[in-house]
Chain A
Amino acid sequence: MKRQALRIASSGLLLLLNSTVLQAHDPIFGLGPHTLFKGGTEVHIGLDRNEAGNNKETISTLELAYGLTGNWTARIELPYEDRDDVPNGVSDMSVATKYRFWRRDSLGVQESSTAFLKVKPDTASNNRGSGTTDSILGLAYGYESRKWYRWAAVRYRFNGETSDNLDRGDKLLIDLVGGIRFKQSAYLEPDWVWMLELNGEKTSRSELSGNKIGDSGGTEWFLSPGLMWTLRNFAIKTGVQLPVASDLNGNQDESDYRARLEFEWHL
């Protein structure tokens, strides 16, 4: 059990810890300010692949979102986990909400800021999931025009403690993103937006029964090219996170890459 706990603390579950709420023209890996229109429903299917040394995992996620108002969205996420060390199956579900508290609209331009909260209770069985109730708080700002996009976001993840006294280190995530639409598409034309993200992650050391774990925590930075293709109410988004700087404590596998593919329908 201790070995499993140490593994979780130092390397595994990378995607589950980092998955976030993607929406519309939000960044692929970072947090964006978009909310759904009032009464709107979103169906979202995501596929994540992560490799860090010998740790490999694939997460498929089904998400459903609903626009409570034009500025407030609620969401539920159900991931399916495929890792080497546990039986495949449904992992911890999450509930999340976004509230856009500021917006400035002008001709062809929208600037906005959003507060974000996500809670992931311990719902999975067979050692899947993190074994804890975790929550993420975040703030995002976005500038979107017909041609240029820019976003900035900060998130903080509070990790709970497992039943065997493992306290995974909390995590701070920072995102800076730029995007461009080379051709300004008309409403019913296919639309392409290219993005480049800089994603930083600083993780505190984990603790087991109050003792700090040497091979845990540290900092990683990723450069992440991404692409979004949309047609009316359907979107495909994809991107890859490539590590550009890493300062992990002790002996830990550095991330090799993280890839994401998303399909999204607005109904």
Chain B
Amino acid sequence: MKTIAQFLTGIIMLWSSMVLSAGTQYDLRVDGLSCPFCAYGIEKKLKKTKGVDAVEIDLEQGVVVVNTEEGVKLSEAQFKQLVKDAGFTLRSMTEKPLP
């Protein structure tokens, strides 16, 4: 019985460590995105940020999806500054672990 409990504990710890160290998907609601050419600044700024893995821009929805590498977390303040430097306004942000 003790062996089974130790085994299950080990599995749970392994699972939780995998979840905790996985990358994160940030959905940024960005205002001011009217043209594709101008939006390049956002891609450029985000991709230069350490730990950013992928950037996708949806102009119609005004959403920028940013995926980070395992263990990399970015704060709303960081995103706000990056978006501002690109010439736009960060309206809101949500985040979830990458599958």
A and B assemble together: yes
Q: Which residues of A contact B (CB under 8 A)?
A: 24-25, 34-40, 67, 69-71, 100, 103, 105-110, 144-146, 181, 184-189, 191, 193, 230, 232-233, 235, 266
List which B62-90 residues lie within 8 A (CB) of chain A.
Answer: 62, 84-89
- The CA of A189 and the CA of B37, in the complex, are separated in Å by 10
Question: Given known contacts A105-B89, A146-B60, A186-B59, is B36 in contact with A38 (CB within 8 Å)?
Answer: no
- The CA of A118 and the CA of B35, in the complex, are separated in Å by 26
**A-B residue pairs in contact (CB < 8 Å), sample of 10:** A25-B35, A34-B38, A37-B42, A38-B45, A110-B88, A146-B34, A184-B60, A187-B57, A230-B35, A233-B37
Contact of A105 among B32, B39, B40, B59 (CB under 8 A): B32
Question: Given known contacts A38-B85, A70-B86, is B62 in contact with A107 (CB within 8 Å)?
Answer: yes
- The CA of A23 and the CA of B42, in the complex, are separated in Å by 17
Total contacts A-B at CB 8 Å: 102
Asked whether B62 lies within 8 Å of A108 as measured between CB atoms, the reply is: yes
Q: Which residues of B contact A (CB under 8 A)?
A: 31-42, 44-45, 48, 56-60, 62, 84-89
Min CB–CB distance A146 → chain B (angstroms) = 6
Q: Residues of A contacting B86 with CB < 8 Å?
A: 37-38, 70
Q: Which residue of chain A has its CB nearest to the CB of B40?
A: A233
- The CA of A250 and the CA of B60, in the complex, are separated in Å by 54
Asked whether B44 lies within 8 Å of A110 as measured between CB atoms, the reply is: no
- The CA of A123 and the CA of B17, in the complex, are separated in Å by 65
Asked whether A235 lies within 8 Å of B87 as measured between CB atoms, the reply is: no
